[in-house]
Amino acid sequence: MAEKISKLMRINYLGMDTSFAPGLKRKDYVMRKFDILKKKTGANYLSIAGLITDIAKRVDVKRVCYCGLMLPVFEDILLARKVDENEMNIERILLLLSVCRCRLDTIPVSGNISKKCIYAILFDTATLSKKLQKPLSVHLLPIKNKKDATGQGFIHNIL
């Protein structure tokens, strides 16, 4: 339909990003969908991430951009809570990267995170990117006065 409209309007239609990304309402949080599928099927996050990515790739439209699963921590309150409670962390999100086209996005880290720790995160991501032959990126969010990656209550206070 979009291609037909673009021809009528003489606009170049490049395609659609079929990514699953969180919305602003609770019902639109990606992690809510994960939790529903986990409860109904008994599947874990990795297999659910793979399923969602497969669905995004199967949509029969001209695709552009990531076309996969997006897990920005500070855009999905349920994901932020899981990070805050250490149910989800950088290593677990990296594991999800192995089956989907998401990235480490808005990951809260200590404001005084060491270069060594940043390098380790970047090296892990680069290793996955090379092995899987797909582009991956990292968006860390240093937070002043945040002491470590597991400080409970930290994210709830910001959101």
CB 56 within 8 A of CB 67: yes
User: For the whole model, what pTM was predicted?
Assistant: 0.76
Report how far residue 28's alpha carbon sits from residue 156's, in angstroms, rounded to the nearest whole number: 19
Report how far residue 5's alpha carbon sits from residue 13's, in angstroms, rounded to the nearest whole number: 9
Query: Which sequence spans correspond to the domains of the chain?
Result: 2-158
Q: How many helices (H) and strands (E) does the chain have?
A: 7, 2
Q: What is the pLDDT of residues 54-102, one digit of tens each?
A: 888 888 888 888 777 888 888 888 888 888 888 888 899 999 988 887 7
Q: What is the pLDDT of residues 110-132, one digit of tens each?
A: 888 899 999 999 999 999 999 99
